[in-house]
Structure 1
Amino acid sequence: MFAWLPLLAVFMQPAFGVYNCPPEYNRTPDNSDLTVDCGATVITLEINLCTAQWAGFNTTDLALNGNHNKQECLGRADTSVIPPVVRYYLPVNHSQENPCRQSLQIVDEAPDPTGPFSSFASVQSVIITSFIETPRSDQGIISYSTDLYYHFSCRYPLEYLLNNTQIIASSVSVATNDNNGTFINTLKMSVYNDSSYKYPLIVPPTGLQLRAGVYAEVKAVNLTGNFYVLLDHCFSTPTAYNVTHTEQHNFFIGCSKDDRTTIISNGISKVARFNFEAFRFLQHRAQSMSSIYLHCILRLCEPNKCQEILAGCNSKRKRSVTPFGQEDKDSATVSAGPLYTAAEEPHAQTYSTAARNGLNETGLIVGVVLGSVVAMLLVLSGWFAVKKFYWGPSD
């Protein structure tokens, strides 16, 4: 009696055979039919076209966040892969500027107790949530058709660690892959030789001269959304970055900074800049050059949040720890190095020694000459005295 039902189901999917779908996809859709790639600028979504067709829908029936009348929110079929898929591209930017509109929220989270931000009070992440669905039937009371609903989210932490960038290199990108989205590849650390920030710093073979100016810049390149770069803590170490480092020189921590460090801009745009004078680590006193590795813990924050954090520096009340000097959920670390500085004027001492040696040699030569002359005079005077004694006057 019901033998015709499977045949009817096949006829209800008129385009199913067109895509040469394997028989294992002759089923209703499930979670495995949706894949999500959380990119830094674009979220890419893929839906199994075979199971969607089996459920009675085609590519034009599925739309991002219910926007069925917007072409940019519809997917595109890709039959070059097996199984064929419907692919969607969702820009990662503010929901008000996105035609397909997604939910974007910033949440506070506890940091990994074993990670580099373990001393932070909390870290923040951006969570983007969206869905893809088929048109809903609004007629009648019941329906025998299957509605499809695909829900997904992408989580992007706002705290990062960049480390061990060589001072002569232009940038570094270091990240751990935890199957989540990351903005780490948009962060770049560079060093320059003057305040114009146009010419990369080139360290000579003998190292930088002590007190030479070093200009550091941390920049978010092609960062989507409206986030600024805020440097929490910048410091240096004599060797590459290690979370257990005990020997370090702090350029600044929050509002507190070293006297020879100048903060040019911080937390007001996608670029943060500061400069300092080249120095030597005392542990390198026996070496001809001293190596310096630069590191900055930074966070990405919304403009209003950045200003709120920076406002703590303007408070007249003394505070032991500044708000953004503390490591928390929003911070990351960038590093650069090694930067080599030269030894302290080794040639001056050598020249002085040579000069003193020259004077000693000259004194020795003059002494020998004078001694010879005196000896000759003594011999001559002795000869004349003997002659006069034995021979007497010539008359």
Structure 2
Amino acid sequence: MLCGPFHRLSQAYGQPLTRWLLGTRALSGGAQFNGYNCDTNFHSRFPAERDISVYCGVQTLTLKINFCPVLFSGYTDADLALNGRHGDAHCRGFVNNNTFPTVVIFSISLAALESCGNSLVVSTAQGPNAYGNLSLVQIGNISGYIDTPDPPTIISYLPGLLYKFSCSYPLEYLVNNTQLASSAAAISVKDSTGSFISTLNLLLYNDSSYIQQLSIPMAGLTLKTRVFAAVKASNLDRRWNVLMDYCYTTPSGNPNDDLRYDLFFSCEKDPQTTVFENGKSQMGRFAFEVFRFVKHKNQKMSTVFLHCVTKLCRADDCPMLMPVRFAQNISTLDK
């Protein structure tokens, strides 16, 4: 008599155990299981790669995991944790049951991403910068995983779940379209191959105190007026500094205009341009004198557009990315 029921259970074990346990529920046609928005017709399976979504933000990295396959695999949301940190409540996610399917959300602050064992690796390689010139280009890669705990036994009939994730952050951008006829311009930059969104401001100031922004008169600025400019990062993790790689001007708002005048590029610098701070904080500062483009000789005013190819680098990496002679010049100015 004992062989009959045991044999039937063994046959059921030949299929995924959760499918056998939930088969009667699927017949009801409902899209709820244990109060969660799960449809057994779609989610009675082991987790797959498509069950995790990664959103790489400027301050927060957000992970969303389809909770239904996790539930059907025999686990709860409390079993999921970042990088094996199952004993730390800060490394667990929270359930959002207002979506279909139900998801578990993990929110990772980039300012404290190492606290739950996530990894940040910055790689440097020779390649074209944001303008196309050959330069040292950096990529920041944040990676980690979410898993379930191993049982304190020799064997287990539950699958071990593992979700790996990574975000690549390009660390160089072209800040452009700031013209001497306006006080400031802000742009949002998103790399098409990554997900790092950063807001950089290119600001113009009255003097070297960098307090009051420049107000340009209707008639324009007088030639040889000293203009103080800054590239400033906002809403950005404090580990990153701003490094201006190449700043130049064009007579139009097109950064790819064939006609341009370089203020500084690599070791070369316009004689009237002074770089005060670069790669040491989240603000890069320089000054130049107002000029006109000769092509505007028949116009009352010559409009000048300012563009800066800007890198984000860690404090220890910035000197390595800066041309040697350029770095020496800035060190002299700091003294």
Matched, 1:188 2:201: yes
Partner of 1:147: 160
Alignment-mate amino acid for residue 160 of structure 2 = D
Alignment-mate amino acid for residue 274 of structure 1 = F
1:106 paired residue among 95, 98, 122: 122
Deviations 1:272-309 (CA, angstroms, capped at 9, x unpaired): 11111111111111111111011112211222222234
Deviations 1:80-101 (CA, angstroms, capped at 9, x unpaired): 1111111101111365xx3212
**What does residue range 301-380 of structure 1 map to in structure 2 within 5 Å?**
301-310=313-322, 312-313=324-325
Matched, 1:34 2:49: no
CA distance in 2 between counterparts of 1:250 and 1:178 reads: 27
Question: What is the CA distance between 1:66 and its match in structure 2?
Answer: 0.5
Question: What is the CA distance between 1:116 and its match in structure 2?
Answer: 4.1
Matched, 1:54 2:72: yes
Alignment-mate amino acid for residue 235 of structure 1 = Y
**TM-score for the superposition, normalised by structure 2:** 0.83
Partner of 1:159: 172
Question: What is the CA distance between 1:169 and its match in structure 2?
Answer: 4.2
Deviations 1:205-253 (CA, angstroms, capped at 9, x unpaired): 111111222110111113215222111221111112333x332222222
CA contact (8 A) 1:163 1:174 kept: no
Point out where structure 1 has 5 or more consecutive residues left out of the alignment.
Answer: 317-321, 323-395
Partner of 1:239: 252
CA distance in 1 between counterparts of 2:238 and 2:197 reads: 11
Give the structure with higher Rg (CA).
Answer: 1
CA distance in 1 between counterparts of 2:144 and 2:116 reads: 9
Matched, 1:209 2:226: no
1:229 paired residue among 218, 231, 242: 242
Alignment-mate amino acid for residue 134 of structure 1 = T
CA distance in 2 between counterparts of 1:107 and 1:314 reads: 22
CA contact (8 A) 1:170 1:189 kept: yes
CA contact (8 A) 1:111 1:117 kept: no
CA distance in 1 between counterparts of 2:164 and 2:238 reads: 22
CA distance in 2 between counterparts of 1:122 and 1:50 reads: 45
Question: What is the CA distance between 1:68 and its match in structure 2?
Answer: 0.6
Partner of 1:218: 231
CA contact (8 A) 1:16 1:53 kept: no
Question: What is the CA distance between 1:255 and its match in structure 2?
Answer: 3.5
CA distance in 2 between counterparts of 1:36 and 1:315 reads: 38
2:296 paired residue among 284, 305, 308: 284
Partner of 1:19: 36
CA distance in 2 between counterparts of 1:84 and 1:198 reads: 49
CA distance in 2 between counterparts of 1:62 and 1:103 reads: 18
Report the number of matched residues.
Answer: 308
Partner of 1:273: 285
The 3 A distance-change label for structure 1 pair 176 and 38 is closer
2:103 paired residue among 85, 93, 98: 85
The 3 A distance-change label for structure 1 pair 309 and 49 is closer
CA distance in 2 between counterparts of 1:9 and 1:305 reads: 55
CA contact (8 A) 1:192 1:201 kept: yes
Point out where structure 2 has 5 or more consecutive residues left out of the alignment.
Answer: 1-7, 26-31, 330-335
In proportion to residue count, which structure has more strand? 2
**TM-score for the superposition, normalised by structure 1:** 0.71
3-state DSSP class of the match of 1:164? Answer: strand
The 3 A distance-change label for structure 1 pair 51 and 179 is farther
CA distance in 1 between counterparts of 2:245 and 2:126 reads: 18
CA distance in 1 between counterparts of 2:323 and 2:68 reads: 56
Alignment-mate amino acid for residue 93 of structure 1 = A
Alignment-mate amino acid for residue 101 of structure 1 = G
Identical residues among aligned pairs (%): 34
